[in-house]
Structure formats: C-alpha cells, structure tokens
Amino acid sequence: MNSPTEPASAILDDFDSRPGSATSLIRTVLGAYVRDFGGSVAIADFVELMRAVGIPPESTRIAVARLKKKGVLRPRVCGGRGVYEVTEQAEGMFARGDPRIFAFRQMREGDPWRLISFTLPESQRAARHQLRRRLGWIGCGTVSPGLWIAPEYLSREIGDIVDALGLSEYVTTFVSTSVFVPDSMGDAAARWWDLDGIAARHREFLDHHRRRLPAVEDVSPLEAFVRFVPLLDEWRIIPYIDPGLPAGMLPDDWPGSDSVRLFASARDRYLAPSRDWARGVQSQLLT
C-alpha cells in the first residue's frame, strides 16, 4: 500500500492554487506543455514561457521552488545543464487529468453509479476529512456523511484516493444501475452536489472567455499560447468539480454545455500551435 504522505498530496495539490496566480499558471504550463516536450525544463526556458503570459521571472522562480517542495518538480542535470523535471507522482496526477480536462466526460441516462461507503474511527478524523475533501474535489456527491455517489467512470480515481490515504480497510464501494429517491433525480442531484456552485463556475468561465474567442481568426503560435494558457488555467478545475451528470438530472438553464463547447473550440484552435511555440522556445534556448 502507498504511503499516505506522498501520492495523496500529488492527487489533490493541483487544486490548491487560485486560477490566474503564478503557481496555478505554472501548473497549467507544466501539465499541457512541459510534459509535451519530455517533462523537463531549464529555469531559463520556463521563465521565457511564463513571461509570455505575464508572469515576472522572480515570480516564476519562487513558484518553481514551491512546487519543488511540494514534490511536483525535482532538479536534475541533463547534458551538463540543470533542469527541473516533473516527478512520477505529479506525472500521474497530470495523466489522470488529461482525459477529464481535454475531453469532458458526460454521463448518459442509464449509465452505472459508483457508491462509496465508509465509517472511520475517531482516531482517523484527519484522514476522514481528507477523504471527504478529495472525493468532493473529483466530483463525487454526498448522499450522507458516510455514503457518497459518483458516475462509475470515476471509480479508478476513487480507488487511487482511498489507496493513497491508506484507508482501503474502511471503505466499501458498490456499482449500481438503479437509484431510487423519494422525489426526482434532479432534486436528488441538487442535494448531493453543489449544482449552484458548479453552474457559477461555468458561467464565470463563459463570461471571462466568450468575448475573447472570435468565431474565425488566424493567430500566431505565440498568440495562441498567450490566449490558451489563461483559458485552460481557469477551465481545468471545472471538469473535476462537475461530474458530468445526465441532462435529466440538471436544471433546464444548465450552462455546462455552452462552456464545454467553448473550451473545445479553443482547444481545437489553439492547443497545437501553442505547443509548437513552446517547443520552439525550448529548442531555441537549448542551442
């Protein structure tokens, strides 16, 4: 079983920084760009990448030092040059996030549910708090304090969290294709998830970025990077807190579909050219 102090932090730490902050933008660039060219980057290269999105060099260096302490980055020597590389724990975190962030997962009517039941002794109060916190951050809903629910496609991430916290002896999960509630599944969803909070995140994303994504426009690879990184930085939290519930469980004015389409349009337009620019910076500074 894994140590509770190592993978557990790597699973959740990706959400601990405020979108738009230096640390959050650096995490976004690490996940979407540095991993794309091998997972290692010299600090001078990273400074140039972050300068493009308005992060001063000193802020980049401070944030990199913090990420080193958190176990997201580690220093090593490559070809006589000092670089920072993404750790295995952080790579696992980023890899788990890729399908969520870049291809929003949507539950269909009739898809199975994963139920998570747990009872922890009072001596495990801190672990119980961490378990609930982590389950909430990956989109699980709260039926009762000791019973949580999620789309079945979250089962692997749920298992990763339980294993990382060392709580497998206290947790039992079930797969169910039928859930019966006293009212409607829409009413149940409103009790089990913070639908108002999730909808507010979607609307904020739409308000911040809809006007900045013209219908038709060619941009340079650098401009694609400058436009896409802040958009991705704000978006990447949403597919975690939003589990992708079926339309029948959501309010009629649910904004999620619009924000998913907006992100998909930006991804298709900007991701590839922005990665070309980032790889060019890496290559230029290595010569």
Do residues 233 and 204 lie in contact, with contact meaning Cβ atoms separated by under 8 Å? no
Greatest Cα pair distance, the chain, in angstroms, is 67
CA distance 218 to 103: 23
Assign residue 155 the CATH number of its domain.
Answer: 3.30.70.240
Do residues 54 and 227 lie in contact, with contact meaning Cβ atoms separated by under 8 Å? no
**pLDDT band with cut points at 50, 70 and 90 for residue 219:** confident
Both 172 and 147 in one domain: the answer is yes
**pLDDT band with cut points at 50, 70 and 90 for residue 216:** low
**pLDDT band with cut points at 50, 70 and 90 for residue 113:** very high
Q: What is the tally of structural domains in the chain?
A: 3
Both 122 and 73 in one domain: the answer is no
Dihedral of CA atoms 51, 276, 36, 135 in degrees, nearest 10, equals 70
Identify the residue with better confidence: 6 or 139. 139
Both 20 and 81 in one domain: the answer is yes
pLDDT at position 149 over 50: yes
Look at residue 3 in the predicted model and tell me its pLDDT. 40
CA distance 164 to 148: 18
The verdict on residue 128 lying in a domain is yes
How do residues 232-277 score in pLDDT, each as one tens digit? Answer: 999 999 999 999 999 999 999 999 999 999 999 999 999 999 999 9
Both 84 and 120 in one domain: the answer is no
Both 150 and 212 in one domain: the answer is no
Both 91 and 22 in one domain: the answer is yes
The verdict on residue 103 lying in a domain is no
The verdict on residue 186 lying in a domain is no
Question: Which residues on neighbouring strands pair with residue 248, listed in sequence order?
Answer: none
The verdict on residue 280 lying in a domain is no
The verdict on residue 158 lying in a domain is yes
Look at residue 81 in the predicted model and tell me its pLDDT. 75
Assign residue 29 the CATH number of its domain.
Answer: 1.10.10.10
pTM: 0.88
CA distance 232 to 262: 11
Phi, psi for residue 263 in degrees, rounded to 5: -65, -45
Which whole number is the average pLDDT over 180-194? 96
Both 94 and 119 in one domain: the answer is no
Q: Could you give the C-alpha distances from 208 to 65, 174, 203, 212, in angstroms and in order?
A: 30, 40, 9, 8
Both 88 and 122 in one domain: the answer is no
Look at residue 8 in the predicted model and tell me its pLDDT. 44
Both 172 and 249 in one domain: the answer is no
Task: Tell me the residue range of the domain where 166 lies.
Answer: 113-176
- Last residue within a domain, chosen from 98, 124, 151: 98
The chain-wide mean pLDDT, for the chain, equals 89
12: tokens are 């959740």
pLDDT at position 152 over 90: yes
The verdict on residue 198 lying in a domain is yes
**What is the DSSP-derived secondary structure letter of residue 253?**
T
- Last residue within a domain, chosen from 74, 98, 122: 98
CA distance 24 to 275: 18
Look at residue 77 in the predicted model and tell me its pLDDT. 83
pLDDT at position 9 over 90: no
**pLDDT band with cut points at 50, 70 and 90 for residue 10:** very low
Look at residue 215 in the predicted model and tell me its pLDDT. 61
How do residues 50-83 score in pLDDT, each as one tens digit? Answer: 999 999 999 999 999 988 988 899 998 877 778 8
How many CB atoms neighbour CB 151 within 10 A? Answer: 21
Radius of gyration, alpha carbons of the chain: 20
The verdict on residue 249 lying in a domain is yes
User: Pairing between strand 113-118 and 171-176?
Assistant: antiparallel
pLDDT at position 217 over 90: no
Both 84 and 127 in one domain: the answer is no
The verdict on residue 282 lying in a domain is no
